[in-house]
């Protein structure tokens, strides 16, 4: 069996962090998470890492592998150069808890601040609705999100400027807002919030979020830009502003 | 050690998968204070991995469907040892629970006339599964999660419950620790709902995440509740078998629902070779009829690939044992063949099964639109669990409720695909409702300080043993090997007796397991604590399986390969007797009312 070296970030609140090299056996078809589990079982029982499904469906095992934000469970070793140590470190945009685990709690605090789903009156007497598949397709793309927060991790508005502490909800929640805004049944209006409270204007479309999304959601093109267009149409288009002045 | 921090709620829910979240919504809506504990982050529970859909007889794709047919299908699939009242409630209430999800923002696939689309699945007579491609579990959990966060429920993420606390025979709360800091917390509660899911991690090859360690089962058992049907473990017929690191990951039954077929190394559709007597009238006579069924032809009968999971898993195992398996020890599951039937088949497959396409492409370098998959059985679900009252989900301990996979009864000897997701929301709702009512009727419970101190001390013992103790990961791997090899898909008396002996030795090793370091996010320490629950459920599975000397549903005995009418009259229950040993008993199944009996008889055609 071949061996490979994994350079894992170790450290938490008790000791200053550092990279530690672990050599471990690797076999065909393995992913980074398998190697981390093997290291945990054989060499470092207290190594902290989050994981659940091991199939790219839950978004628990986000990390930065050789500097790229990825899911450990979906990063196959045969896509990496095993002649060099494979670097695995926690997401940098979030505070470190321990080893590969970060404090992502801010994401859970952001979500309730977005106006919740508010459906229109049911279409049928039995209290149900009718929707066309082509209308739900658009929203289903956004609802594929597994909340791995890799897009939040890579967004420079958060990573370099920590604006999520200051009113910027970040790409995950712009996708969430878009899913609600474009939901065929929703009657809520979030445009004012997006402009004033959610920091939509901070996004300057570098598309890093789209690049790292493991679900291949077109975050920028299909969620953020349409939201920006709606905000611009309503608040910045001179013709509509003029009309609003007259209408009061 | 110090006194633990304390929280207090009217209703405390343990587990935040589909059942736990639905219970939280119901209890919070009833106006009581609700706490929710989950072992992982919110929204990561095993429910998120469910793929195919949720079964509810809405009759959108076939108007012949109704609750009676769904009820009869569930009972037939469960080989008639189900709790018939639970099966009835489930079949009656599932449509409303699914429609409710839409009112909370869920976006299901649609029929041409704009209603919720329903797909075919194993054991269901008509297309019945409301779905979103093959990521229905994600849609379910996200909808419930996003609805819950606006209801004032307090969520304690990454907390693990160590023990239930009792006050004068009633549940008074739980002792838990938080993963992040390793601190202990006592939660006082007037009612506790266990919604902790399954026990898959007791086996080597499983679709379950690390969380599926039978916590709720073991917590309830240790507190004195009764577990039933523990011998009935579902081995899903189609898990991935290659590459080795993904062995066990689920391949949805939806593949077969969309026309996928099972073949052996000779290219033969072996499922046609063995059709059980009670399913013969409903099964297609040839490949063409089976294909027409998957495409919605109401005059066609289901292909044999859509027989129940227990049967399909055994057929696959038979082919592999007979040397007709695929190169990596499974069989072939082929959806690519439908290009012979459908123009634009590749796009159709990618649209209907996006998650499976992605999973095989990324993890196995295989394009399912061009090549067959290799699949084999994987431990997926346990039909057994905490014995509950059908209407209220109350366990045999006052104040303790259970819902979802950790509760038993609805599925009998074998669960139908798609019945789990609807079980979660039907009985999650009921558990939340009755837990809230129970909480209103009680004064604030007292917390047993001595029990808390003892449990806290026991939980910290691995640190006292330190690095010279047994490696908990090794003990867990050995336990998984034991259960996989000796109490797996095919069981026999001598092997199960051997398993009991080994479980004793593993118990002793677990008691010697040790770790060093500090408590913060210490995965090795958590593995030590998981072992206790895994060993308890493993023993319950083994003892129950020894007691059931026949083959039925998910439980197959090589030494008793036939079903026996005698064993169809009772469920097998285990409880802890005062001395701490596991006691096995038989609980007679009450007679079904005439109305339900006639539904079952009518549907036998």
A121 in the same domain as A62? no
pLDDT of res. A117: 98
- Do the Cβ atoms of B363 and A143 come within 8 Å? no
CA dihedral B106, B110, B114, B120 (to 10 degrees): -120
Q: Are residues B205 and B250 in the same domain?
A: no
Cβ within 8 Å, pair B105-A112: no
B460 and B504 fall within a common domain: yes
Rg (CA), chain A: 22
Contacts of B156 in chain A (CB under 8 A): none
Number of domains in chain A: 2
Q: Between chains, do B362 and A183 touch, taking CB under 8 Å as contact?
A: no
Contact between B527 and A45 using a beta-carbon 8 Å cutoff: yes
Residues 164-193 of A with CB under 8 A from B: 180, 183, 185-186
Nearest CA to CA, how far is B477 from chain A (Å)?
10
CA distance B211 to B234: 17
Query: Taking a C-beta distance cutoff of 8 angstroms, is the pair B57, B73 a contact?
Result: no
Span B191-210, average pLDDT: 96
B246–A98 C-beta distance less than 8 A: no
pLDDT of residue A190: 98
For residue B336, tell me if it sits in a domain: yes
CB spacing of A136 vs B109 below 8 angstroms: yes
Tell me what percent of chain A is helix, strand and coil, each rounded to the nearest 5: 40, 15, 45
Last residue of a domain, one of A65, A81, A102: A102
Number of domains in chain B: 3
> Which residue in chain B is spatially nearest to A131 when comparing CA positions?
B114
B2 pLDDT above the threshold of 60: no
What are the pLDDT digits (tens) for A62-95? 999 999 999 999 999 999 999 999 999 999 999 9
- B243 and B333 share a domain? yes
Chain A residue whose CA is closest to B523: A46
Residue A39 shares a structural domain with residue A146:
no
Check CB contact of A27 with chain B, cutoff 8 Å. Answer: yes
**In contact, A37 and A6? CB cutoff 8 Å:** no
Q: Single out the residue of A48, A7, A54, A19 nearest to residue A33, CA to CA.
A: A54
User: Residues B321-343: pLDDT tens digits?
Assistant: 999 999 999 999 999 999 999 99
Q: Which of residues 98-117 of A touch B (CB under 8 A)?
A: 98-99, 101, 104-105, 108, 111-112, 116-117
* Domain co-membership, B334 together with B280: yes
Residue B367, domain member (yes or no)? yes
* Residues on chain B touching A113 (C-beta within 8 angstroms): none
A133 and A31 belong to one structural domain = no
Average the pLDDT over B390-405 and give the result: 98
Contact yes or no for B132 and A12 at CB 8 A: no
| Per-window interface: B 523-542 vs A, CB < 8 A | 523-525, 527
Residues A34, B44: C-beta atoms closer than 8 Å: no
Interchain CB distance below 8 Å, A48 and B477: no
Which positions ≥6 away from B106 have C-beta within 8 Å?
B132, B139, B140, B143
Does B255 lie in the same domain as B387? Answer: no
Q: Is residue A96 part of a domain?
A: yes
Q: What is the spatial distance between Cα A149 and Cα A146, in angstroms, rounded to a whole number?
A: 8
User: Does residue B473 share a domain with residue B385?
Assistant: no
pLDDT at B1: 47
Please report the residues numbered 82 through 101 in chain A whose beta carbons come closer than 8 angstroms to any beta carbon of chain B.
97-99, 101
- Per residue in A122-154, pLDDT (tens digit) is 999 999 999 999 999 999 999 999 999 999 999
- Quick one: pLDDT at residue A248? 64
The answer as to whether B220 is a domain residue is yes
Q: Are residues B318 and B420 in the same domain?
A: no
For B:136-165, CB contacts with A below 8 A are 137-139, 142, 146-147, 149-150, 155, 157
**CA neighbor of B71 nearest in space, from B61, B60, B54, B83:** B83
Mean of the per-residue pLDDT values of chain B: 96
Residues A97 and A137 placed together within one structural domain of the fold: no
pLDDT category at A24 given cuts 50, 70, 90 is: very high
Q: Which residues between 460 and 479 in chain B have a beta carbon less than 8 angstroms from any beta carbon of chain A?
A: 471-474, 477
Contact between B520 and A180 using a beta-carbon 8 Å cutoff:
no
Could you tell me the residue range of the domain that residue B520 belongs to?
Answer: 450-565
Please list, in sequence order, all residues whose beta carbon lies within 8 angstroms of the beta carbon of residue B504, skipping any fewer than 6 positions away.
none
Looking at the fold, whether A195 and A229 belong to one and the same domain comes out as yes
Radius of gyration of chain B (CA): 23
pLDDT at B243: 86
CATH of the domain at B65: 3.50.50.60
The CATH number that applies at residue B310 is 3.90.700.10
Q: Is residue B570 part of a domain?
A: no
Q: Do B146 and A59 touch (CB under 8 A)?
A: no
pLDDT of residue A15: 74
Measured CA angle at B118 (ends B114, B124), to 5 deg: 160
The answer to whether residue A25 sits within a structural domain is yes
Contact present, A164 and A152 (Cβ < 8 Å): yes
**Catalytic residue, candidates B256, B292, B309, B415:** B309
Do both B100 and B170 map to the same domain? Answer: yes
> Rounded to the nearest 5°, which phi and psi values hold at B463?
-70, -35
DSSP string, B425-463: HHHHHHHHHHHHHHHHTSPPPPP-HHHHHHHHHHHHHHH
Q: Is residue A245 part of a domain?
A: no
Same domain, B455 and B434: no
pLDDT above 80 for B105: yes
B222 is annotated as an active-site residue = no
Contact A45 B524 (CB under 8 A): yes
Q: Are residues B400 and B372 part of one domain? A: no
A247 found inside a domain: no
A12: chain B residues, CB-CB within 8 Å: 520-521
CB pairs under 8 A between A and B: 172
- 3-state SS string over A155-194? CHHHHCCCHHHHCCCCHHHHHHHHHHHCCCCECCCCHHHH
State the pLDDT at residue B3: 59
Residues B299 and B343 in one domain: yes
A30 touches chain B (CB under 8 A): yes
- Regarding whether A123 and A83 lie in a shared domain, the answer is no
Q: Does B108 touch chain A (CB under 8 A)?
A: yes
Cα of A58 to nearest chain B Cα, Å: 5
Q: How many beta carbons lie within 10 A of that of residue A2, not counting itself?
A: 10
In a domain, B54, yes or no: yes
Domain boundary among the residues B319, B350, B377 is at B377
pLDDT higher at B180 or A13: B180
Q: Is residue B597 part of a domain?
A: no
Q: Please check whether residue B575 lies inside any domain of the structure.
A: no
Contact B427, B385 (CB under 8 A): no
Which CATH number covers residue A185? Answer: 1.10.1060.10
The B residues from 378 to 417 touching A (CB cutoff 8 Å) are: none
Which chain B residues contact residue A55 at CB under 8 A?
49, 246, 249-250, 359, 363
Give the residue carrying structure tokens 């593993």: B506
- Within 8 A of B362 by CB-CB distance, chain A residues are 56, 74, 76
Are A153 and A69 members of one domain? Answer: no
CA distance B383 to B200: 12
For residue A246, is it within any domain?
Answer: no
With a pLDDT cut of 90, the percent of chain B lying above it is 95
Same domain, A27 and A50: yes
Name the residue facing B515 among A45, A111, A130 (closest C-beta).
A45
Residue B404 and residue B260 in one domain = no
Q: Are residues A91 and A47 in the same domain?
A: yes
Which of B531, B546, B565 finishes a domain? Answer: B565
Whether the CB of B210 is below 8 Å from some CB of chain A: the reply is yes
Confidence tier at A13 by pLDDT (50, 70, 90): confident
Closest residue of chain B to A104, computed from CA coordinates: B41
Q: Return the closest-CA partner of residue B537 out of B320, B227, B276, B238.
A: B227
Asked if B580 and B536 count as a contact pair (C-beta separation under 8 A), the reply is no
In a domain, B256, yes or no: yes
> Which of A44, A77, A102 is the endpoint of a domain?
A102
Looking at A43, A68, A102, the residue that finishes a domain is: A102
Q: Are B308 and B235 in contact (CB under 8 A)?
A: no
pLDDT at B5: 86
Asked if the Cβ–Cβ distance from B520 to A13 is below 8 Å, we say yes
Inter-chain touch A53–B48, beta carbons under 8 Å = yes
Each residue's pLDDT tens digit, B219-267:
999 999 999 999 999 999 999 998 888 899 999 999 999 999 999 999 9
Report the pLDDT averaged over residues B589-599: 97
Does residue B185 contact residue B194 with C-beta atoms inside 8 Å? Answer: no
Q: Residue B103 above 50 pLDDT? A: yes
**A144 Cα to chain B: minimum distance (Å):** 8
What is the domain extent for residue A149? 106-240
The verdict on a CB contact (< 8 Å) between B135 and A57 is: yes
Whether this model's pTM surpasses 0.85: yes
Q: Is some CB atom of chain B closer than 8 A to the CB atom of A161? A: no
Q: Give yes or no: residues A92 and A154 share one domain.
A: no
Nearest-CA neighbor of B9 among B42, B32, B43, B37?
B32
- A153, A228: one domain: yes
* CATH number, domain containing residue A59: 3.10.20.30
Domain end among B404, B431, B449: B449
Disruptive mutation site among A32, A51, A53 for chain B (greatest number of B CBs within 10 Å): A53
Cα→Cα distances A217→A199, A212, B104, B154, B346, Å: 21, 9, 23, 31, 20
- Same domain (yes/no): A210, A138: yes
């Amino acid at each position: 069996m071949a061996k490979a070296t994994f350079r894992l970030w170790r450290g938490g609140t008790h000791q200053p962090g550092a990279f530690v090299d672990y050599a471990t056996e690797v076999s065909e078809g393995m992913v980074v998470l398998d190697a981390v589990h093997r290291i945990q079982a054989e060499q470092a029982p207290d190594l902290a890492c989050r994981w659940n499904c091991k199939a790219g469906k839950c978004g628990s095992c986000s990390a930065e592998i050789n500097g790229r934000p990825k899911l450990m469970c979906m990063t196959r070793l045969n896509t990496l150069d095993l002649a060099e140590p494979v670097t695995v470190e926690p997401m940098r945009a979030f505070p470190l808890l321990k080893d590969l685990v970060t404090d992502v709690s801010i994401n859970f605090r952001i979500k309730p601040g977005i106006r919740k789903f508010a459906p229109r009156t049911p279409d049928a007497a039995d209290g149900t609705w009718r929707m066309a598949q082509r209308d739900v397709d658009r929203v289903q793309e956004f609802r594929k999100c597994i909340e791995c927060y890799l897009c939040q991790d890579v967004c420079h508005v958060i990573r370099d400027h920590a604006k999520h502490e200051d009113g910027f909800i970040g790409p995950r929640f712009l996708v969430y807002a878009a899913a609600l805004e474009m939901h065929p049944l929703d009657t809520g209006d979030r445009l004012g919030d997006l402009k004033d409270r959610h920091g939509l204007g901070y996004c300057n479309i570098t598309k890093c979020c789209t690049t790292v999304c493991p679900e291949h959601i077109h975050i920028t093109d299909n969620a953020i830009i349409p939201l920006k267009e709606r905000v611009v149409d309503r608040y910045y288009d001179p013709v509509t502003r003029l009309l609003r002045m007259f209408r009061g | 050690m110090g006194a633990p921090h304390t929280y207090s709620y009217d209703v405390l829910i343990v587990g935040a998968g589909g059942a736990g979240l639905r219970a939280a919504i119901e209890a919070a809506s009833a106006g009581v204070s609700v706490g929710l504990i989950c072992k992982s982050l919110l929204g990561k529970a095993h429910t998120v991995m469910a793929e195919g859909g949720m079964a509810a007889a809405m009759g959108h794709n076939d108007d012949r469907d109704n609750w009676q047919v769904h009820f009869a299908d569930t009972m037939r699939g469960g080989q008639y040892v189900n709790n018939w009242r639970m099966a009835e409630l489930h079949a009656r209430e599932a449509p409303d629970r699914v429609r409710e999800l839409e009112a909370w923002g869920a976006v299901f696939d649609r029929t041409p006339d704009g209603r919720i689309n329903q797909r075919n699945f194993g054991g269901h007579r008509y297309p019945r599964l409301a779905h979103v491609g093959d990521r229905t579990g994600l849609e379910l959990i996200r909808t419930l999660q996003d609805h819950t966060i606006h209801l004032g429920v307090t969520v304690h993420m990454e907390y693990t419950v160590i023990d239930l606390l009792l006050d004068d025979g009633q549940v008074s709360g739980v002792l838990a620790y938080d993963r992040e800091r390793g601190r202990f917390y006592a939660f006082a509660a007037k009612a506790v709902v266990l919604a902790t899911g399954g026990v898959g991690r007791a086996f080597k090859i499983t679709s379950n995440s690390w969380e599926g360690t039978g916590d709720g089962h073991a917590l309830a058992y240790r507190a004195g509740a009764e577990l039933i049907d523990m011998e009935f473990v579902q081995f899903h017929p189609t898990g991935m078998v290659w590459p080795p690191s993904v062995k066990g990951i689920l391949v949805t039954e939806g593949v077969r629902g969309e026309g996928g077929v099972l073949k052996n190394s000779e290219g033969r559709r072996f499922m046609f070779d063995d059709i059980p007597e009670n399913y013969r009238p409903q099964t297609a006579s040839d490949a063409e009829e089976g294909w027409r069924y998957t495409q919605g032809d109401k005059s066609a009968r289901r292909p044999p690939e859509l027989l129940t999971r227990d049967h399909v898993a055994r057929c696959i195992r038979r082919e592999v044992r007979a040397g007709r398996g695929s190169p990596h020890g499974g069989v072939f599951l082929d959806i690519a063949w439908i290009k012979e039937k459908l123009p634009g088949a590749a796009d159709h497959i990618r649209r209907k099964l996006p998650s499976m396409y992605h999973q095989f492409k990324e993890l196995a370098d295989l394009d399912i639109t061009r090549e067959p998959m290799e699949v084999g059985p994987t431990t997926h679900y346990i039909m057994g669990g905490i014995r509950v009252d059908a209407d209220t989900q109350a366990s045999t301990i006052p104040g303790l409720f259970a819902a979802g996979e950790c509760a038993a009864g609805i599925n009998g000897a074998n669960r139908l695909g798609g019945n789990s997701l609807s079980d979660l929301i039907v009985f999650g709702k009921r558990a939340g409702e009755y837990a809230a009512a129970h909480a209103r009727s009680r004064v604030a419970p007292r917390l047993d300080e001595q029990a808390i101190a003892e449990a806290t001390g026991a939980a910290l013992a691995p640190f006292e043993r330190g690095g010279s103790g047994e490696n908990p990961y090794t003990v867990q791997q050995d336990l998984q090997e034991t259960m996989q090899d000796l109490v797996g898909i095919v069981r026999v008396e001598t092997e199960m007796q051997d398993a009991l002996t080994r479980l004793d030795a593993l118990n002793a090793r677990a008691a010697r397991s040790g770790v060093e370091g500090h408590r913060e996010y210490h995965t090795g320490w958590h593995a030590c604590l998981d072992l206790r629950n895994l060993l308890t459920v493993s023993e319950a599975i083994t003892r129950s399986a020894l007691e059931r000397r026949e083959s039925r549903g998910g439980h197959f005995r090589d030494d008793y390969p036939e079903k026996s009418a005698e064993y169809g009259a009772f469920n097998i229950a285990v409880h802890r007797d005062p001395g701490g040993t596991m006691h096995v008993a038989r609980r007679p199944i009450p007679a079904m009312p005439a109305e339900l009996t006639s539904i079952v008889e009518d549907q036998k055609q």
